Structure 1
Amino acid sequence: MLPSDSDERHADKPLPYAPDQTDYADAQDRQNFDEFTEEHGQVVAKRERFYRTKRFWIRCAIINVILLAIFIPLLILVILPKMVQSIVNGSTMSMTQLNMTDATELGMKVSIAGGIANAGIFPATIDFPEPIVVSWEGKQLGSMNMASVKASGGKATITDATSFSIIDKDAFSNFAKQMVQAVGRTIKGIKLTKDLKMLGMNGFGKVTIDSFTMPGDAPNNAGAQVSLVTSMNNPSPIGMVLGTIVLDLFYQNTYLGQVAADNAVLVGGSPSPLKLQGVLFRQTNQTDLDNVSVLMSNFLAGNVTVTTAKGVSVKPDGVNAVSWLSNGLLALTLNVPLQSPTPLNVIRDISIMDMGMIFNPAAPFAPTASSKTVNAGFKLPFNITVGMQNVSNTMSIVYKGKVLGDIDSAVWSAAKSDIKTGIIVFGLPASPLIIKDDAKDEFQQFVADLTVNPEQTFGVTGLANAISTTPMGTVKLTGIPFNSNVTMKGLNFNAINAAVSNVVVAGGTADHITMNQQVALPNPSALSVTGGSVLLTVYDKPTNQYLGELSIPNLNVVPGANPTATQFLFHPDNATLRDQFLSQYLVGATFPLKVVGTKGSTALPELQTAMSLVTLGSSVSGLNPAPRLVTSGTAVSTLSTLLGNRQSKTTVNMINPLATDLFINGMVAQVSWKGTFFGTITATYEQTVPANKGATTPELILQHPMGVEFGVFLTTQFVPAYPLIALGGAMVPFDLDTMISVRVGGPNGYAANIHYVQQQEILTKMTLF
C-alpha cells in the first residue's frame, strides 16, 4: 500500500510511543525546564531554577541541624546574657513617689511608686533577690528589699512598700545589683547599675501663706501667740510623715519667734499644708522693733514681706527628735512671703466729727484743713492687745468719683483706741489741702454743696500711720490704706434765718449809711469755714428792692450760732424806700430782708461758686426801746398874735439816738392837740445834733390855723383847759407829725428824710405874754 499525501507530510516527525515509569519521572524533571527558545540561531532549553530541586532542600536541612546544634547553646550561654545586659544598660528608671513613715534613727518604712522604660521588646519579670543599696556620691546610704516587677512592651511599673535600713544618713540615690528574668529563662548574673535622678525639694520652692492670725497675747508678757497655715510646694516625689516640726522665724536678722506643727505630713509632688502655732517674742531692741514695725505694716497694707524660717527639730513621734531628719531640717532655710491671702480693710467707717477749712487769698486752692475729732472704725486680723497712741496720715478728698486734693499731715496727733469696740479717735492737725490742677472747678462745687446743702457725702482715701503698743513691743505701723465714705451735715445756709442784732448806725458818707450789727449765721454742721472778706447784697424782702450790701470783714463760720460782726452799707436806689426804712428804724420797727451772694462776693476763687448760690433770710430791728426824738418845747403867744397873724414862736428840744452826727437841714411839722389841728412848722435851717446827744432848735414859727373856728376852739376849749397859761405858762402835751430833712453822718453825710410821729409826748410851755 502506497503512502498517502498526508503520510508524506508527517514523515519527518517521530512516531508516538507508550511511556513507561522512568519516562514519567523524566517528564516531571522536564517540567522544571522552560520551553525551548532560539539562541545563536539554534534551539536550546532555559536554565533550571535551583530552589526547585530536592538536592537544595536536603542540603539546607543538613546545614540547619548543624547550625542549631552550635547556635542554641551559644545563644543561651553567651549571646542572651549579653543581650539582656545590654537591654538593662539601655533601660531607664524613674521614681514618681517615695513616701516615708515611722522614721527612726535606724530606718523607716517607705512606699515607692515609679517605672522602668526602654526595657526591651520581650516580656520579662525583674526580680531583686538581694537588698537594693542606695548610694550618693560614692557613699552607701542604706538598703531595702524590693518585690518583683513585671515588664511588658518595654515598660514596667514599680509599686512597693518596704523598709529602708539606714547605713549613712545623708541622701538617697542609685540602685545596683539585681537579677533579670527574660525570654522564659532565668538569667542570672545580670548587673543593674543606674543613676536615678529625682527632683529635689528645692527648698520647698514657693511657700505661700494661706492664713496668718494672732489669736491672743502670750502668757507672762512674752509676746503674741501666732497661728499660720502655709502651703509648702514640694516638687520632689519624696513624701514623709514628719510628726512634730519646729521652726525659728526671722526677718532681717530679727529673731521673731518659734513655731511648731503637729502631725505634719510632707506630700510628694504637690503642695503640703502645714499648720504652725507658736509665739512671736516681745522685742526690746529698737532695730528689732523697727523690723517688726515693717513686718506688721506690710501685712496690714497687703504688701509682701519675705521672712525666713529655719529648722530646729523633727519629732516623728511628737516627742523624740530623729537626728538625721533634724540635721536635714537644720540645713533648710525657707523663704516665706508673708502676705494676707485676702485684702484687709483695716480702717473703715470714718466719721469726721468736725472739719475746718481756712481759705487764704495768698495761697489759692491750698486751704488749710483740720479736725479736732476723727472717729474711725478699725478691724485688725489679730486678737491681741493693741493701743493706738499717736496717728498721722495722708488723705485724699474724693468727690463724685474724682480726687480733689491731698492732705499730708506730717504732724503726729494723740489718739485713743478701744480694741473691743474697734474705734480709734484722733485729730487732724492743721495741714494744707492741695487741690489738683484738674479738679479746681470740682472743688468749688464741693465747697458750694457743703455750704448750701443740709448734708453732703464725699470720700476719703489714703494711708494711715500709728504708733501702737502691742505684745511684741511699741511699733510704728505705717502705710495702712483706708477708703471710706463720709457724710457730713452741710452749712445749709439757704435754709437759715440770719438774725440781725445790736444794730448801730455808726456813720455815713455821701454814698451810704454805715450800720454795724451782729449777724447770726447759725451752723448746724460740724464744718468750719474761714474765708476772709465777703460782700453780700441786701434786698427788702417784701418788695425785693435793693437796699445795699452786707459786708463781713472776716467770715469765720464754726458750728453753733456764730454771731458775726458785719457792716450794712445802706444806700437804696428808691428814695421812698430809703426814707421809710430809716424812719421805721428810729421807732424800733422790724424789716424782713433777703441777703444774696454773687461770685463777686469774695476774692477767694474757692468760695466764688458757693457765694453765688447763697440766699439768706434775715431781718433787722430798729431802735428798741424806741427813743423820743423830741423831748420838750416852748411856745410863746400873745393875744395879738392869736387874734392877728396867729403865729407862735417855738423852740424844740431834740435828741440824736444815733452813734453818728445828725445834720438837720430843716423840717415840716404838723402840730395837734387832742386830735385838733393846732398849727404847722415849716422851717429851713442847718443844725448838727451830735451823736447820742441833744440840741435845741433855733426859734421856729408855729403857724396856727386862720378862721373863726380856731378862735372859738381857743376860747372855749384850749385856754379853759389850761388856766395857768394866762398866769405865766402851763405844760401842754401836743402831738407831732414831722418830716425832718437830715444828713446822717454830719454835713457831708448821707441825705435822707425822717418821718417822725410822736403823740401825747411833747410837753410844751406856753404863755400869752
Structure 2
Amino acid sequence: MSHMLFSASKEKLAEKDHHQNAGKISSDEDLPYGSDEVEYNDEKGEFDTYDEEHGHAAEKRTRFYQSKRFWIKCITILVIILAVFIPLLIFVILPKLVQAIVNGSTMSMSQLNMTDATETGMKVSLIGGIDNAGIFPATIEFPEPIIVSWEGHQLGSMQMSSVKASGGKATIIDSTSFSIIDKEAFSTFAKDMLTIETFTWVLTSTVQVKAIGRTIKDISLKKELKMLGMNGFGKVTIDSFTMPGDAPNNAGAYVRLVTSMNNPSPIGMTLGTMVLDLFYEGTYLGQVTATDAVLIGNSPSPLTLEGLLFYQTNQTDLDNVSTLMSNFLAGKVTMTSAKGVAVKPDGINSISWLSNGLLSLTLNVPLQSPTPLNVIRDISIKDMGMIFNETSPYTPTASSNMVTAGFKLPFNITVGMQSVSNSMSILYKGKVLTDINAAVWSQAQSDVPGGLIVFSLPPSLLVVKDDAKEEFDQFIADLTVNAEQTFMVTGLASAVSTTPVGTVKLSGIPFTSNVTMKGLNFNSIDAAVTNVVVNGGTSDHITMNQMVALPNPSTLSVTGGSVLLTVYDKVTDQYLGELSIPNLKVVPGPNPTPSQFFFHPKNETLRDQFLSQYLTGAVFPLKVVGSKKATSIVELKAAMSLVSISSTAPGLTPPRLLVTSGTANSNIGTLLGNRQTITSVNMINPLNTELYVTGQVTQISWKGNFFGTINAKYEQAVPPNGAVDTPPLTLQHPSGLEFGFFLTTQFVPSYPLIALGGAMVPFDLDVMMSVRVGGPNGYPATIHYVQQQEILTKMSMF
C-alpha cells in the first residue's frame, strides 16, 4: 500500500510540473519525501537535488540538520557540557553515590576469633561479608582503624585489610589486632557478651573506594553489626564424669569432667587456663581447672575440667552430695552450676577484663551420664524364702540371707558399702509379677576391687500385681517341679557408703539382672518315709504317723501351711489314701517332715495285702500326687497340681511275731474221735492303737505236714503294744487214716514227752485274722501273716 501511495505522488508531481512549467520549488516542504535524489556539492558545500524521473538537477533545497554549521554547533555545545559535567560527576556526584552505596550496604560477621589476649588488646581473625555493595566492581580500603562501639562506648579499634566487592557482595577474611580503648567499657561488654542473647556493635571509620578507575576518599563508614551473644553457653553437656582417685590427706576425691559448651555466638576465644568453682543446691563441691581452653564460635566447644571434690562433713552438704551422686549413677539429670574464678591465657597471669567477664558467668551444667551406667548387675540370690499365708493371699513374705550383686562404679575411688536397702520387682516371661519393698536396711559387705557386694533381704512383703496372679502361680509351680528356673529382677537399690567425699547415701540406683535359681525339683526326688507308726483308726481309715523326707536341692525355702496329697501304690497304681502334711516347710536339705497317712484303699485285697506286709516290715513303693485341692493356699494350687513324688515307705520295723506262745491240749479220745485239740495262744498288738480281733482262720502245719485248722469267730480287744491270750480255740485236725498214721509214726515219736507233761513243738502258722484297727469301731481288715511258733503241746489218755 505504501508503494502505491508513493507512485501516485510522483505522477501528480510530474503532471503539475508539465502543465505549469514551474521552474523553482520555494521550500523544502514542497518536495515530497523520496521524489528526488539529493547530491552533495563540494564546491558550494550544499546538497544538489535531482529529479528522479527525468534525470536532471532539480532546484536546490537544504534541511537544517543537513547543514555543516549545525553539526559544528552541536559538537561545540557537547564539549562545553562535558567540560562542566565530568568534574561535577567526579568530584561531586560520584563521592555522594559511593557514600550512598556504602550507607546502604550491610555487614555481617560469621566468625570472630580472639587470641593472645592482653590487658590492652588481642589478636582477632575475621570472617564476614558485605551485601548491597553496588553494581560496579570496587575495592574498599581502610586507611584508618575501625572504631568498635557498644552502647555508646568506644570499646576498641582494629585495622582492616582492603576488601574487594563484585556483584554487590564482598567477603571479609582478615587477621588483625584489636586495641582496647576503654578498658572499663570493654570489661562490661565482656561480661554481657557471655550471658546475653544478642548484642550490637557499631563500626565507624573513614574508608576509600576504588571503582571505575577512580579512588574516592573520605567515605564515612558507620555500620551496626548485630551478633549473637554466648547466652550463658545455652545447654552445657557432660560427655564424661569420672573420679580418678582419692585425694591425699582426706582432702576429697579427684574429679575429671569432659564437657561440651554450646557457643551460639560467632565470637570465639582462646581462654588458656580457666578456673571454675562447682556448686549444687548451695553446696560448694570443689574447684576445677581447664587448660588450653578454647571457645569455638557457632559450635560446641569441648572442655576438659580437672580438679578436686572436697570432703564434706556438714549433713546438709552430705545430703546434697548424696543426691548428686545418686542421680548420676541412676542416669538422672542433676542441674549443677559452675562459677568462674579466673582466666589465665598464658596459664600464669590473669587478664582482668576476661576474668571479670567470667566471674559474672554462672554456667548451668546438667550432670548426667551420656550412656546408662548399669552399676548393679549379675544379681545372685543364694537363698530365698517365701512364706505363704492363707489369710493374706498374694502377699507372701520373702527373705534371703545372702544376695550377691556385681557392681561397677564409674569412679576409681575407695568406696565401702555399710548397709543396703532395695525395692525390686520380679519379672517372669516378660511380665512383672511382684514388687518387693524392703523397708529395713541390712548390713552389707563390699569388695570394691572385685566388684561384689553381699547383703541380705530382710523379711519383706512380696506383693503380687492384680493382673499377674495367674502368671505368679505358674512361676511358683515351675520353681516347685523344675530343676532350675530363670527369672528377672529389676528395681532400685540404695546403699550407705563411705567415700572420699564423705559418708553418702546412694539412693535409687537402678538394676536389672537375670537370676537363675535351682528349683525344688519335687518330681525327681525320692520322698523316703520313716518312723511309720499306726496310731489310730476309724471306720473310715487307719491313721499312720510318719516322717516324710522332702529333699530340697535348691536354695529356695517355701512355707505353705497344710497340704493333703494323694498316695498310690506305685506298682499297681491303685489308690491307698491321703498324706497330710500339717505344716509344709521346705528348706534346703533333707527336710524330714512330720505327716499323717490316712490309709483307706478302695480295693479290699490291696488293703489286706498292705496291712499284712506292713506287719512283716516290707518296703512299699509309693507315688504321692498333688492336686489343686491339696492346699488352701491359692498361690500353691497350681504347683500342687503338678506334684508327683516317688516315695518308699517301710513296714513295721523291726517286724514282730503276733503270736509269742501257745498251748495245745488234746487226748486219745479227741484225736481218734472228733479229732479236735483245744488251743490258746498269747497274741501281741505291735500297733500304737487298739487292735480288735473278730475272728481268725489259721492253717497249722508241722514240718510241711498239715496239722489242722482253727476257724473261730470271737471278739477280743488287744491293747496298743499289748498282749492277750486268746480264748480257747478249737483246732480241727484232718480226718482219715492218714493223719492217724502220721501221728503215730512221725509226730508222737518225735516228741515222746507230749504224753508225759507236754513238749514245745514248733508249728507253722498261716493266719487270716479279721480285725478292726482302732477298736470295735475301727477300720476293718483281714491280716494275713505266717510265722513259726513253738507251742506247748500236751496229749493225755482221757
TM-score, normalized by length of structure 2?
Answer: 0.89
| Count of aligned residue pairs for this structure pair | 748
Counterpart residue identity of residue 661, structure 1: E
Are 2:87 and 1:73 equivalent residues in the alignment? yes
Per-residue displacement from partner, 1:386-421 (whole Å, max 9, x unpaired)? 122222222121111122222222222221111111
CA spacing shift, 1:48–1:672, aligned 2, 3 Å? farther
CA spacing shift, 1:22–1:544, aligned 2, 3 Å? closer
Correspondence list, 1:109-508, <5 A? 109-167=123-181, 168=183, 169-170=186-187, 171=189, 173-183=201-211, 184-508=213-537
The 3-state SS of whatever aligns with 2:313 is coil
Partner Cα separation in structure 1 for residue 68 and residue 463 of structure 2: 117
The one of 88, 109, 115 equivalent to 1:101 is: 115
Correspondence list, 1:646-661, <5 A? 646-661=675-690
The one of 734, 737, 741 equivalent to 2:770 is: 741
Correspondence list, 1:512-551, <5 A? 512-551=541-580
Segment drifting more, 76-85 vs 691-700: 76-85
Partner Cα separation in structure 1 for residue 177 and residue 722 of structure 2: 122
Per-residue displacement from partner, 1:511-553 (whole Å, max 9, x unpaired)? 1111111111111111111222211111111111111111111
Partner Cα separation in structure 1 for residue 608 and residue 333 of structure 2: 78
Does the 8 Å contact 1:127/1:178 carry over to 2? no
Correspondence list, 1:708-747, <5 A? 708-747=737-776
Are 2:794 and 1:766 equivalent residues in the alignment? yes
CA spacing shift, 1:19–1:539, aligned 2, 3 Å? closer
Counterpart residue identity of residue 734, structure 1: F
Does the 8 Å contact 1:734/1:764 carry over to 2? no
Correspondence list, 1:655-694, <5 A? 655-694=684-723
Does the 8 Å contact 1:462/1:481 carry over to 2? yes
Does the 8 Å contact 2:41/2:48 carry over to 1? no
The one of 14, 17, 21 equivalent to 1:14 is: 21
Pairwise CA RMSD of aligned residues?
A: 2.7
Partner Cα separation in structure 1 for residue 793 and residue 595 of structure 2: 44
Does the 8 Å contact 1:730/1:767 carry over to 2? no
Partner Cα separation in structure 1 for residue 565 and residue 49 of structure 2: 144
Partner Cα separation in structure 1 for residue 130 and residue 478 of structure 2: 79
CA spacing shift, 1:447–1:740, aligned 2, 3 Å? same
The 3-state SS of whatever aligns with 1:220 is helix
Per-residue displacement from partner, 1:21-76 (whole Å, max 9, x unpaired)? 87998995879xxxxxxxxxxxxxxx999877766655543433333333333333
Partner Cα separation in structure 1 for residue 173 and residue 384 of structure 2: 74
Counterpart residue identity of residue 66, structure 1: I
Partner Cα separation in structure 2 for residue 574 and residue 403 of structure 1: 48
TM-score, normalized by length of structure 1?
Answer: 0.92
CA spacing shift, 1:729–1:237, aligned 2, 3 Å? same
Counterpart residue identity of residue 67, structure 1: I
Quote how far apart the aligned CAs of 1:262 are. Answer: 1.1
Partner Cα separation in structure 2 for residue 152 and residue 384 of structure 1: 63
Does the 8 Å contact 1:630/1:762 carry over to 2? no
Counterpart residue identity of residue 180, structure 1: Q
CA spacing shift, 1:676–1:16, aligned 2, 3 Å? same
CA spacing shift, 1:757–1:272, aligned 2, 3 Å? same
Partner Cα separation in structure 2 for residue 762 and residue 221 of structure 1: 94
- 1:37 maps to which residue? none
CA spacing shift, 1:603–1:19, aligned 2, 3 Å? closer
Counterpart residue identity of residue 668, structure 1: V
Counterpart residue identity of residue 794, structure 2: M
Quote how far apart the aligned CAs of 1:633 are. Answer: 1.0
Quote how far apart the aligned CAs of 1:278 are. Answer: 0.8
Partner Cα separation in structure 2 for residue 49 and residue 372 of structure 1: 130
Partner Cα separation in structure 2 for residue 20 and residue 701 of structure 1: 190
Partner Cα separation in structure 2 for residue 497 and residue 610 of structure 1: 18
Partner Cα separation in structure 2 for residue 115 and residue 10 of structure 1: 79
Partner Cα separation in structure 2 for residue 10 and residue 295 of structure 1: 122
Percent pairwise identity: 73
Are 2:623 and 1:594 equivalent residues in the alignment? yes
Partner Cα separation in structure 1 for residue 16 and residue 647 of structure 2: 164
- 1:623 maps to which residue? 652
Partner Cα separation in structure 1 for residue 545 and residue 242 of structure 2: 66
Are 2:588 and 1:581 equivalent residues in the alignment? no
Partner Cα separation in structure 1 for residue 104 and residue 517 of structure 2: 82
Per-residue displacement from partner, 1:98-131 (whole Å, max 9, x unpaired)? 2222222222222222222222233332222223
Counterpart residue identity of residue 501, structure 1: T
Quote how far apart the aligned CAs of 1:557 are. Answer: 1.2
Does the 8 Å contact 2:758/2:792 carry over to 1? no
The 3-state SS of whatever aligns with 1:474 is strand
Does the 8 Å contact 2:39/2:47 carry over to 1? no
Counterpart residue identity of residue 368, structure 1: T
Partner Cα separation in structure 2 for residue 512 and residue 758 of structure 1: 27
- 2:7 maps to which residue? none
Partner Cα separation in structure 1 for residue 555 and residue 660 of structure 2: 51
Does the 8 Å contact 2:41/2:47 carry over to 1? no
The 3-state SS of whatever aligns with 2:607 is helix
The 3-state SS of whatever aligns with 2:218 is coil
The 3-state SS of whatever aligns with 2:356 is helix
Counterpart residue identity of residue 164, structure 1: F
Partner Cα separation in structure 2 for residue 456 and residue 382 of structure 1: 35
Does the 8 Å contact 2:143/2:208 carry over to 1? no
The 3-state SS of whatever aligns with 2:434 is strand
Quote how far apart the aligned CAs of 1:323 are. Answer: 1.6
Partner Cα separation in structure 2 for residue 250 and residue 600 of structure 1: 64
Partner Cα separation in structure 1 for residue 16 and residue 151 of structure 2: 104
Per-residue displacement from partner, 1:737-768 (whole Å, max 9, x unpaired)? 11110000000000000001111x33325353
- 2:6 maps to which residue? none
CA spacing shift, 1:9–1:639, aligned 2, 3 Å? closer
Partner Cα separation in structure 2 for residue 362 and residue 332 of structure 1: 64
The 3-state SS of whatever aligns with 1:763 is strand
